[in-house]
Amino acid sequence: MLVEMELPHLAQNAVTGRVHGSSLLLIRQPVGTDEGTGLLLKTTDPKEQRDVVAKVKELRAQEIANAPKLPMHVAKKVDPSAVKGNTLNLDGTKVSRLPDAVCEMVTLTNLSACNNALKSLMPEVGLLTKLLSLKLTNNKLAGLPDSMGYMHQLQLLLLDDNELRSLPNGIVTCSSLKVLDVSQNKISMLPFGLYQCSRLNKLTVYDNPLMMPEQVISKGPPGMLKMLKALHVCNNTGNCILAGMGLVAVPPIILTMTAVTRLTLADNVISRLDGLQMQTRLTSLSVARNRVETLPLSLKALTNLTELETSGCPIVSPPASVLGLDGPAIVGYLRAKSALMGDNIESMFRAFDADGSGTINRTELQEGLHLVDLQHRRLEIEAVLEESDEDGNGLISLAEFGDLILGLFKMGAMHEQSLDLSGLGLPAFEMDFAQPGLINTLDLSRNNLTTLPSDMPLLSSLHTLVLSHNAIEEVPQSAGLSTLTSLVLLHNRIVKLPKWLCARHNLLALDLRNNQLGGLPCEVGGMTNLVDLKLEGNPLQMPLKKLLKEGSQYARAYLALFMQAQIEGLLDLNNMALATLPLEAELGQVTTCLLGHNRLEVSPPALSTASFLQHLDLSHNNMDKFDGNIFPHITRITHMDLSCNRISGMSRRIGHLLRLVNLDLSSNKIAELPASLSSLTSLKLLNLTKNDLESLPSSVTALSNLESLVIEFNNLWGLSDELAQMVALQHLSVRANNIAKLPDVFGVLNLTSFDCSRNPLQQVPLSLGSLRSSLQDIRLDRHLHLDDPPDVIIARGSNALLSYLRRQLDATTSAELDMSRLQLASITVPLDRIERSCMGLKVLDISDNAISELPRTIGADLNCLEALVLSNNRLATLPVSTKHMKTLTALDIAGNLFERVPEMLAFTPLIRFLNMDRNILDSLYRNVVTVASGGFDDALAETKREKEREAATMKKKGLKTLIQTKVMDKVHAKLKSSNRSKQVGALFQLFDLLELRISENKVRVLPGSISKFLHLRYLDMHSNELRDLPPDIGHCTSLTHLDLSHNQLIGLPPDIGFLVKVKLFNISDNNVRRLPEDIGNMTSLTELNFNNNSLEFIPVEIEGLETSLKTLHASGNIIRDPPFEILAQGRDALFTYLRRVRNGRMSRELVLIDMKLENVNFNYESLTVLTALELSGNQISELPKELLILTNLTILKAPGNRLER
């Protein structure tokens, strides 16, 4: 068991022993204490405790016996009896070590031992935890113990004028420290954790070799502690942030830290970045907003750098085009530039200048030349030196040294200089080199260059320029240097070769591959020295075979074509008039082989060696078969084009091409396909156009991943239901075949385009309508003359046709057929088929078309119909068969040409909604025929005979049941001669009618049978020729909407007042002269409109509508009462006036005070009972003579008006 003690102790007297098998730390007991005092043991065993105490006493006795004797003057000072208070002063005692007794004075608060010879402090000094002040000035201290960190109350620590090289890390826990003086020592760096001493307000560090910038030190404790904190964080995380500290250079301490990965020096005044190359782990460096003008080439060592921030710096080198790149690219640029001798002249100069004098003498030059192995060119060098030594003093300055190096290079004494700036992503190339004339090879490939700078001639020694993989559209004229022998421009966007380039007769090699050249200037033939010209990958229009005859260089280019195929994998021999594959063609590494538009009669056997082949084009040749033995050797192929040959069949070994995506077999003579074709599960595009297929092979319909199938110009007689397996199919074209019928399986497909034009189609399946959401293009012949859909729909294109079919398809499930707005001239839809599919069609909407006639059997076909919408067509009559639509509840024939009410309404009593707006009806009556008794029996006999004849005819046509409309027509004609007729209301049977619209017709009379419409809620007869209303209209007590506007009414029947549910009543634009008083009973009215009539008076009974009536329209009349000024004041003034008049009639006293009246135009005939009339507070200027009618009037008051007399 470990025994822990809290007693002060001396390290040299601590021993480790064993007591009862447990580890013990034994520490001596302070002098002058009782036995066991201050000893804390973490043990409950009494025997262990006694053993420990005994051991301590033994050590203490031995220590006292061996301790050296202190000088008398020192012993007196450390004698506890001589210590005054808690302060101990040992200044000038010349002690070389602190007396042991001092460490036992645990209550000391002040200790001074200045001007002594102390070399070190014992660790036990940390036990003086109550110290507030510790002065150790002018000693020989070389180090301090970490135990000083226990002095948590220490406020002042003077360590100046010693030999300290560092401070203990433990000092950072002296949290109360306010003053620290370490001046005149040998300290190179303060502990990073010192920033934790937040109370430190005075820190003296002068005369120390501190690796801390002076500008930071000058800011005192805040500046130094801020930097120490940053370094502390950096030490733990690798992220060093020294922004905004006023630094003028990179702090030296940074260069000694090995774990820095991110360094931020932004917002300082740093002008040079020397030494940063040592931080090879840096991934991020920010020197933004400093004074840096040049990034040193030494930064090339920062190979891990990914981020470099230089914004706000006046950097001139590298140029801005480089600074805009990412970190690795900038480092790559610096690395490339550092390889140039011209940009390292300064470093070379320093290497030659052995004595550091700033000049190179002859001796130093000779020694330096020996080092670079140029001593054998001494005489040549001396000649160059004489030219370079401008002042003739025999000493070479830095500028003269640069001229010397340039001269050596030109005379061939120095090696060639290459600058590789490839793959950096440069947007522009700028001349940023001390000696550009030393560069002879420049690689700018794989950048983003569009042109070159105008100062390219400064590269006076350049002979090779590589500009491949850029975005150059025009060969820059600055690239045409007179010294250039090789120019590489492949993978650019050059569309034209400039003529001036052809004048560069010193050019030996020119690479223009993979550009956009459409031709070559004729001047190319004059480039006699050009031995290497590469033009592959250009859309050259000139036949290559003719170009080869222009010179030998083109023959070499032709041969290079095959060599390059092994490198790039592309062999393009299209349109070469080849009868066989050239012997030079080695296909082992070829991935794309283009042999189209040649004269091949058999598949080249060499294809068996093309194991990496992915794309094969053998189109437009003369092959009658393709060797199936080749297929197992080209299993990587994805695209194969065998179109425009004479192939009659395919080998079953085609099943080996499991990666095949695109197969074009068009324009051949194939009559059947092998079953193994179904194994091509990757196939997405298959073209079988112009072959001899008579049916769609099952091996094709089994291709479940196929997306495009083109089988145009074959002999197909139809498509099988197996087409439903092709769930991935998007494009299907069977144009120009013999297909008469399509399978009804399109509902499970996802087609986006379907071409079935130039086929003798007899039927279009409704399932095509289910593709309306996906199918974007469908093509059928415009003049198929099908029963349905009509040609007019097909001619309108995909959307119209699909909509037409989709509507029919939807009707089979919804029982609602909407054929509106299709511009149809007739109904071709097989209504009987749809009726059977949906078990009874409920709604038929054929509105907004151009239909003039309905199918004769429509009533028989749709005997379950509930709603028939025929509005906005050209109908004048309805077939007789519509009488059998007994279930019809809604009929809309608005916007047609009906002159009479359809007779079918006498046989469809369930109709509740009837719309006959916008026709040319002139009467709502119909003739009821009474058959004469003499001809009735003959008519019945004739009817029976006609029925039998027509039934026999329909049976032959396969129709089981049919209403014999023809028979009925004949019988009707026969009875017509012997009938008697009378007029009755044409709508009298519609007892359940809820809504009736007959607006914009020519109806003159509303039949009295309207009174039978007890459930009628909506009646709209505006814009007719009505002159009056039947009195029985008051029986339509369910009406809520009544519009009689734009007629010729001259009055309203009193019974109108019974329409108490009417909310909107419109009689505007008539000739009504008087409103019945009963109108006041229409207490549900919210809107009343009698604009543009001939009314002179508004009955006071309207006052009873005040609570319900919201809107009243009365303009366009000649109303005298109420006066105009009352009407002009609005609704409230009107009802106030009417209420006062009504009350006056009852009380015989009419009070119209302050009503703003200007004249008195009352309906005097209704006021003859008045005995008193008060008109005060108005604006009346004259009283009318009509007042004399009021013979009972005895009181007339009119003060406050404008009366003159």
At residue 866, the pLDDT reads 92
Handedness of CA 930, 933, 938, 944 (dihedral sign): positive
Kindly state the average pLDDT of the residues 420-449. Answer: 86
Closest alpha carbon to 290 in 308, 312, 309, 307: 312
DSSP 738-761: ------S-GGG---SEEE--SS--
Q: Which CATH architecture has domain 1017-1119?
A: Alpha-Beta Horseshoe (3.80)
Looking at domain 342-410, what is its CATH homologous superfamily?
EF-hand (1.10.238.10)
* Whether residue 114 has pLDDT greater than 90: yes
Amino acid at the residue 617: D
DSSP one-letter code for 829: S
At residue 919, the pLDDT reads 96
- Residues 902 and 876 sit within 8 Å (Cβ to Cβ): no
d(CA 1131, CA 1116) in angstroms, rounded, equals 17
Confidence bin at 268 (pLDDT 50/70/90): very high
Confidence bin at 255 (pLDDT 50/70/90): confident
3-state secondary structure of 770: helix
Question: CATH top-level class for 434-565?
Answer: alpha beta
Kindly state the average pLDDT of the residues 679-706. Answer: 94
What's the distance, CA 897 to chain centroid? 55
Kindly state the average pLDDT of the residues 1043-1072. Answer: 94
Q: Could you report the per-residue pLDDT of 337-384, keeping only the tens digit for each?
A: 777 654 456 666 666 666 777 777 777 666 666 655 555 556 666 665
d(CA 295, CA 304) in angstroms, rounded, equals 17
Backbone angles phi, psi at 832, to 5 degrees: -65, -35
DSSP one-letter code for 263: E
Query: Which of the given ranges, 36-40, 183-187, 565-569, 930-934, has the highest pLDDT on average?
Result: 183-187
Kindly state the average pLDDT of the residues 701-729. Answer: 92
Specify the pTM: 0.47
* Whether residue 1 has pLDDT greater than 90: no
Point out the least confidently predicted range of 254-263, 982-991, 1030-1039: 982-991
Backbone angles phi, psi at 524, to 5 degrees: -60, -30
Give the bridge partners for 979, in sequence order: 931
At residue 313, the pLDDT reads 92
- Residues 330 and 308 sit within 8 Å (Cβ to Cβ): yes
> Residue 610: how many CB atoms within 10 A of its CB?
25
Query: Which of the given ranges, 74-88, 775-789, 932-946, has the highest pLDDT on average?
Result: 775-789
Give the bridge partners for 511, in sequence order: 488, 534
* Whether residue 582 has pLDDT greater than 90: no
Kindly state the average pLDDT of the residues 1074-1082. Answer: 90
Kindly state the average pLDDT of the residues 1093-1098. Answer: 91
At residue 7, the pLDDT reads 37
Kindly state the average pLDDT of the residues 144-171. Answer: 92
Kindly state the average pLDDT of the residues 127-140. Answer: 92
- Residues 854 and 818 sit within 8 Å (Cβ to Cβ): no
Amino acid at the residue 261: T
Amino acid at the residue 130: K
Q: Could you report the per-residue pLDDT of 624-648, keeping only the tens digit for each?
A: 999 999 999 999 999 999 999 999 9
* Whether residue 35 has pLDDT greater than 50: no
At residue 178, the pLDDT reads 93
At residue 612, the pLDDT reads 93
Residues of the chain with CATH 3.80.10.10: 79-210, 434-565, 569-692, 704-813, 815-922+994-1003, 1017-1119
Query: Cα torsion for 662, 664, 670, 672, to the nearest 10°?
Result: 20
Residue percentage of the chain with pLDDT more than 90: 37
Amino acid at the residue 664: D
Closest alpha carbon to 398 in 439, 435, 347, 438: 347
- The hierarchical CATH code for the domain 815-922+994-1003 is 3.80.10.10
Confidence bin at 124 (pLDDT 50/70/90): confident
Point out the least confidently predicted range of 320-329, 349-358, 515-524, 920-929: 349-358
- Give me 278's structure tokens: 């040592």
Question: Which residue, chain included where needed, has tokens 């003269």?
Answer: 400
At residue 674, the pLDDT reads 94
At residue 1137, the pLDDT reads 87
- Give me 505's structure tokens: 């007769």
Q: Reading across the β-sheet that carries 262-264, which strands appear in turn?
A: 239-241, 262-264, 284-286, 307-309
At residue 358, the pLDDT reads 72
Kindly state the average pLDDT of the residues 397-405. Answer: 66
- Residues 52 and 76 sit within 8 Å (Cβ to Cβ): no
- The hierarchical CATH code for the domain 79-210 is 3.80.10.10
Query: Which of the given ranges, 110-114, 429-433, 1148-1152, 1201-1205, has the highest pLDDT on average?
Result: 110-114
* Whether residue 1076 has pLDDT greater than 70: yes
Confidence bin at 525 (pLDDT 50/70/90): low
Kindly state the average pLDDT of the residues 815-820. Answer: 90
Confidence bin at 1169 (pLDDT 50/70/90): confident
Confidence bin at 32 (pLDDT 50/70/90): very low
Confidence bin at 931 (pLDDT 50/70/90): very low
At residue 5, the pLDDT reads 38
Is the bond leading into 8 cis (omega within 30 degrees of zero)? no
Closest alpha carbon to 674 in 694, 700, 692: 700
* Whether residue 24 has pLDDT greater than 50: no
Kindly state the average pLDDT of the residues 584-604. Answer: 88
Confidence bin at 386 (pLDDT 50/70/90): low
* Whether residue 617 has pLDDT greater than 70: yes
Closest alpha carbon to 967 in 939, 995, 992: 939
Question: CATH top-level class for 569-692?
Answer: alpha beta
Closest alpha carbon to 163 in 142, 135, 137, 139: 142
Point out the least confidently predicted range of 291-300, 545-554, 795-804, 863-872: 545-554
CA neighbours closer than 13 Å in the CB half-sphere of residue 515: 28
Amino acid at the residue 357: S
Q: Could you report the per-residue pLDDT of 1022-1037, keeping only the tens digit for each?
A: 999 999 999 889 999 9
d(CA 612, CA 569) in angstroms, rounded, equals 9
Point out the least confidently predicted range of 249-263, 393-407, 508-522: 393-407
Q: Which residue has the higher pLDDT, 665 or 942?
A: 665
DSSP one-letter code for 722: G
At residue 1125, the pLDDT reads 83
Handedness of CA 986, 988, 989, 994 (dihedral sign): positive
Q: What is the CA radius of gyration of the chain?
A: 57
Three-state secondary structure string covering 610-665: CCCCCEEECCCCCCCCCCHHHHHHCCCCCEEECCCCCCCCCCHHHHHCCCCCEEEC
Closest alpha carbon to 149 in 136, 165, 134, 138: 134
Q: Which residue has the higher pLDDT, 279 or 783?
A: 279
Confidence bin at 462 (pLDDT 50/70/90): confident
Could you tell me the CA-to-CA distances from 362 to 351, 356, 395, 1130 in Å, in that order? 14, 14, 7, 119
> Residue 1028: how many CB atoms within 10 A of its CB?
15
Beta strands in 272-406 (DSSP E): 284-286, 307-309
At residue 1153, the pLDDT reads 85
Could you tell me the CA-to-CA distances from 695 to 699, 716, 717, 718, 1203 in Å, in that order? 11, 5, 6, 7, 107
Mean pLDDT of the chain: 82
Closest alpha carbon to 999 in 871, 849, 846: 871
Q: Could you report the per-residue pLDDT of 2-23, keeping only the tens digit for each?
A: 333 333 333 333 333 333 333 3
Handedness of CA 389, 392, 396, 398 (dihedral sign): negative
Give the bridge partners for 24, in sequence order: 17
- Give me 547's structure tokens: 């170009």
Q: Which residues contact 297 (CB under 8 A, 6 or more apart)?
A: 334, 337, 338, 343, 344
Q: Which long-range contacts (CB under 8 A, 24 or more apart) does 483-491 make?
A: 485/509, 486/510, 487/511, 488/445, 488/464, 489/515, 490/514, 490/515, 490/534, 490/537, 491/515
At residue 932, the pLDDT reads 47
Could you tell me the CA-to-CA distances from 747 to 320, 697, 771, 816, 830 in Å, in that order? 63, 21, 7, 20, 20
Residue percentage of the chain with pLDDT more than 70: 79
At residue 544, the pLDDT reads 53
3-state secondary structure of 918: coil
At residue 810, the pLDDT reads 83
CATH 3.80.10.10 describes domain 704-813: yes
* Whether residue 966 has pLDDT greater than 80: no
